[in-house]
Structure 1
Amino acid sequence: MARKNRKQLFEKVEIIDAGARGKSVAKAPDGRVIFVDNAVPGDVVDIQTFKKRKAYFEGTAVRFHELSDKRTTPVCEHFGTCGGCKWQHMTYKHQLAFKQQEVTNNLVRLGRIALPEAEPILGSKKQFFYRNKMEFSFSDSRWLTKEEINSDQELSDRNALGFHIPGMWDKILDIKKCHLQADPSNAIRLAVKEFAAQNELEFFNTRNQTGFLRTLMIRTSSIGEIMVLIQFFKEDIEKREALLDHLKKTFPQVTSLQYVINNKGNDTIYDQEVICYAGRDHIFEEMEGLQFKINAKSFYQTNSDQAYVLYKTTRDFAGLNGEELVFDLYTGTGTIAQFIAKKAKKVVGVEAVPDAITAAKENAKHNGIKNVDFYVGDMKKVFNDEFINTHGQPDVIITDPPRDGMHKDVVQQIINIAPKKIVYVSCNSATQARDLAILNNLYKVTRTQAVDMFPQTHHIENVVLLEKR
């Protein structure tokens, strides 16, 4: 028996909303949701589905009958193929409106939280060239366009230095110009590729695990410092030094030039030795006179300007007067802890990653901050009664967990401690809503503020202030 074709065509359907993962939302005639990957709310389109589930479809707009007034022309030639900047075809004011809507919907519908009047979302002054960290991958079998595939001409250049195609781990889109990181990022990437091509340096092949050049990372800071790190799959001293010397000569403004030799199955560098070839092994970021040392493995918010906005919002919500003991959970490299320290009596930061805590201590010492202490360990194990007895009863808890939110044991411990205030910073308002629902009997949400760290994407940070009922 022939397999039933699950693909369907829905004609002249209006896109009614923006949903999760950057997709837009429509409704099928039977009421089921359709998630559409290339349309904007307000478009009227024909949708070809490619996936069918019990409660929803996924599809692509194949014909546009009416274009939304929320549309704008994407500035990037790679839009639609590259996996980033999925909302670049939507005006920024409407991006902000849908982000605000997402946060409100999650807190109200998922968390069943009674919200105060929402404070206007804090948008980014820079809608492009706002990222301070970019990572690019080398490939000897780049992603081909339909025109190239159908062409009779033989392709002489299959090398790429760019981004993974969404859902295709072994396909790399060669990037001509990226609008996410300011110059000299594009110039550095293009210079690396040109030198590699001219000198016949092998680009990596992910499937076969062969080649020489693996990844390129570029970090920049708000005070003009630049870090470049090249990851090689194998050592070849002559070729490696030739490329690094070329970069050193061509871009003398680079503060930190580093490399890694990594021949393992994946390209993560966190378990690898990072070697400094020229300059320092770190760069500095600065905020209100504080300096934060960033090495190749450090976590730092990727939008420096909006990180400052986020941290100011957190400090404002905490409402410190200089007498409080503050616990900063999931402190990372201690940036929030140090940023608020001058307003608190003492800040205690806790984080699971040892390297992050080492960096936090070094930065605090560099900044001359003496009223912060940092401790490393699994949050649900470290943050126990003994920890409270040792360090004291906090007046305020600041928590900035990963996307999965807080472990239920951590939430319960916060309830047991019952501080006067909790400031909850989140990059995922859905898991934030889940945690707020557990806290809801003891705490009331008195302020909520969305902060846009990632223009042209659906991602949004949200800060909530909870006060005891």
Structure 2
Amino acid sequence: MGRRLRHIKGLRITGFAAGGKCFGSYNDTIVFVPKTAPGDVVDIHVTNRRRGFYEGRVSRLIAASPHRIEPFCRHFAHCGGCNWQHIPYPLQCKQKQAQVVEQMAHIGKIEADIVHPIIGARQSRWYRNKLEFTFAQRRWFLPEEMADEERQPRGLGYHLPGRFDRILDIETCWLQPEPSNAIRRAVRDYGIKHGLSFHDCRRRRGWLRNLIIRTGADGQVMVIVSLFFEDSEQREALLAFLHHEFPGISSLWYVINPKGNDTITDLDVKLWGGADHLIEQLGELRLKVGPKSFYQTNSEQAEKLYRVVGDFAGLDGTTRVYDLYTGTGAIALTLAPRAQKVVGIENVAPAIGDARENARINSIENVSFVVGDVREVLADRGFVAANPVDVVVVDPPRSGLHPNVVETLADMAVPRLVYVSCNPATQARDLSLLTDIYRVRAMQPVDMFPHTHHVENVALLEKQG
């Protein structure tokens, strides 16, 4: 039966699962299905069978859950971005809270009563300050378009879930405020009208590659056009068009990217016109953000997140702080006014350059930034001896802390450790390795990405004894 099973009829969805999916049970086997809600009854097409469970997608919604609402985006059925639009926002927050509690209990063996109620977002739409779109010479066609022989093959939008070579053309995205949609549509339509080639990542050809739009405080807009090869005449015409049609663009850039991936951090991004940065407002700080800068994409929630970090750090004006994985220094600079000294450590040199510049802009003198791998810097006994520390803040990538860093933090045994994570599962794993030295005192989930299953979590650890 198992290998021949292609469809399941009348599956009742009973709960939430990891990765934004929900699940039901078929003949005592768990079935994971995205874009469903507990209480839905659905027919599904089985897309994958693993040992002990199935994966599938909805082919027909038979009965809608009382928790289900109508998605506000026309692209919801196919786009992989906001996979919880059909879930009411209060229920999204409740489930994110439950996700943190469950992963801490299951992986970290940490009690639920220390997890504070999640800090939800005031604004669940138009909350992102950065989006990146991909051009496609042959975009993904929707089922209703297949009969249209005059359909436009080129598009500009997002990758389909799990498909690096399939792009869904986006008409309106609800994540970033205008003029984001207007700029994206204008560039797409200009390219089509003037016969410009859109990129084909499989065949590695096509001129227009990516479009990045950043928005900052006071309505500032940065646009970065990524091109597969140089064509100065066409480039000048396109950028002049953007400058004319959108005089509000305050920073306009281009980059030539002939590589096999879309990242531009290792490339020479050239300023075509306007300022070489945007200004982001983070509480009382004004942060300079360039075309390669990393900055939290939800500015309003970032301020709440960093306020939690400061509260957990327990700063009193004499506190000495390490900010590990400091990036462009946002956390370090937020903490500095209430600390004696803050040292930020980061292995990406351009990010440290931004951090130092932001310290200068804000006239903050009790913070320093070090370029280097966190493992190597902390292993330098001379550095640690010269920079005594009371509180360590860590904000690692999704993969969590390297085992060597976990071991070093245990050896350091600082009075207080604050762990910021965008992946509660790897955070719980790391915390479980530190419980011989530290006791987890409190946790604060923060919703940075409404309508997705992602959640940020801050943990406070104090040295035992």
Distance 2:419 2:384 in 1: 23
Structure 2 residue identity aligned to 1:357: I
Residues 1:51 and 1:387: Cα distance change in structure 2 (over 3 Å)? farther
Whether 2:357 is the aligned partner of 1:354: answer no
1:134 aligned onto 2:131:
yes
Contact 2:105 2:112 survives alignment (8 Å): yes
Query: Could you tell me which residue of structure 2 aligns to residue 394 of structure 1?
Result: 389
Tell me the SS of whatever aligns to 1:72: coil
Amino acid at match of 1:57: Y
Q: SS of 1:15's equivalent?
A: strand
Q: Which moved more, 1:364-373 or 1:18-27?
A: 18-27
* Residue 224 of structure 1, aligned match among 219, 222, 234: 219
- Give 1:108's aligned residue: 105
* SS state at 2:113 partner: coil
Whether contact under 8 Å (1:223, 1:286) holds in the other structure is: no
User: Per-residue CA shift, 1:259-297, capped at 9, x if unaligned?
Assistant: 011222222211211000000121111122211111111
2:175 is the counterpart of 1:180: yes
Is structure 2 residue 368 aligned with structure 1 residue 373? yes
Give, as a single letter, the amino acid of the residue that structure 1 aligns with 2:344: G
Residue number in structure 1 paired with 2:336: 341
Change (3 A) 1:4 1:395: closer
SS across alignment from 1:121: coil
Alpha-carbon RMSD across the aligned residues, in angstroms, is: 1.6
Work out whether 1:441 is the aligned partner of 2:436. Answer: yes
Equivalent of 2:244 in 246, 249, 253: 249
Conserved 8 A contact 1:331-1:351: yes
Structure-2 separation of matches of 1:388 and 1:7: 61
Q: Residue 163 of structure 1 corresponds to which residue in structure 2?
A: 158
2:417 aligned residue: 422
Alignment of 1:256-405 (within 5 A): 256-405=251-400
> Is 1:47 matched up with 2:44?
yes
Helix, strand or coil: the match of 1:263?
Answer: coil
What is the CA–CA distance in structure 1 between the aligned matches of 2:325 and 2:444, rounded to whole Å?
20
Bigger Cα displacement from structure 2, 115-124 vs 413-422: 115-124
For the structure 1 residues 324 and 71, does the alpha-carbon distance in structure 2 shift closer, same or farther, using more than 3 Å as the test?
Answer: same
- For 2:368 and 2:255, how far apart are their aligned partners in 1? 32
The answer for unaligned runs of 5 or more in structure 2 is: none
Cα distance in 1 between the residues matched to 2:445 and 2:293? 25
Aligned letter for 1:58? Answer: E
Q: Distance in 1 between matches of 2:365 and 2:389?
A: 18
Q: Is the 8 A contact 2:145 2:151 kept in 1?
A: no
Corresponding residue for 1:28? 26
TM-score norm. by structure 1 comes to: 0.96
Q: Indicate the larger mover: 55-64 or 95-104.
A: 55-64
Change (3 A) 1:208 1:386: same
> For structure 1, which runs of at least 5 residues remain unmatched after alignment?
none
- Contact 1:42 1:69 survives alignment (8 Å): yes
Q: Which residue of 1 aligns with 2:233?
A: 238
Return the alpha-carbon distance in structure 2 between the equivalents of residues 54 and 229 of structure 1: 45
Q: 1:257 to 1:42 in 2, by over 3 A?
A: same
The amino acid that maps onto 2:386 is: H
Share of identical aligned residues, percent? 46
Letter in 2 for 1:233: F
Structure-1 residue corresponding to 2:202: 207
The TM-score normalised by the length of structure 2 is 0.96
Q: Which amino acid letter does the alignment assign opposite residue 413 of structure 1?
A: T
Tell me, yes or no, if the aligned pair for 1:12 and 1:46 is still in contact at 8 Å.
yes
- Find the aligned partners of 1:113 and 1:63 in 2 and give their Cα distance: 40
Shift of 1:168: 1.8
- Whether contact under 8 Å (1:393, 1:419) holds in the other structure is no
Using the TM superposition, give the Cα deviation of residue 344 of structure 1 relative to its aligned residue in structure 2, in angstroms: 0.3
Moved more, 43-52 or 399-408: 43-52
Separation (CA, whole Å) in 2 of partners of 1:156 and 1:114? 56
**How far apart in 2 are the matches of 1:90 and 1:114?**
27
Residue 21 of structure 2 aligns with an amino acid whose one-letter code is K
| Partner Cα distance (1:389, 1:78) in 2 | 51
**1:427-457: CA deviation from partner (whole Å, max 9, x where unpaired):** 0000000011011122111111100000010
Deviation of 1:92 (Å)? 0.4
CA distance in 1, matches of 2:38, 2:92: 11
Q: Report the Cα offset of residue 390 of structure 1.
A: 3.7
Partners of 1:211 and 1:8 lie apart in 2 by 38
* Helix, strand or coil at the partner of 2:255: strand
The one-letter code sitting in structure 1 at the alignment partner of 2:379 is N
CA separation in 2, counterparts of 1:444 and 1:368? Answer: 36
What are the Cα deviations for residues 92-113 of structure 1, in whole angstroms up to 9, with x where unaligned?
0111111000100011111111
Are the equivalent residues in 1 in contact too, given 2:35–2:84 (CA < 8 A)? no
CA offsets 1:68-118 (integer angstroms, 9 cap, x no match): 121111011000101100001110011111100010001111111134343
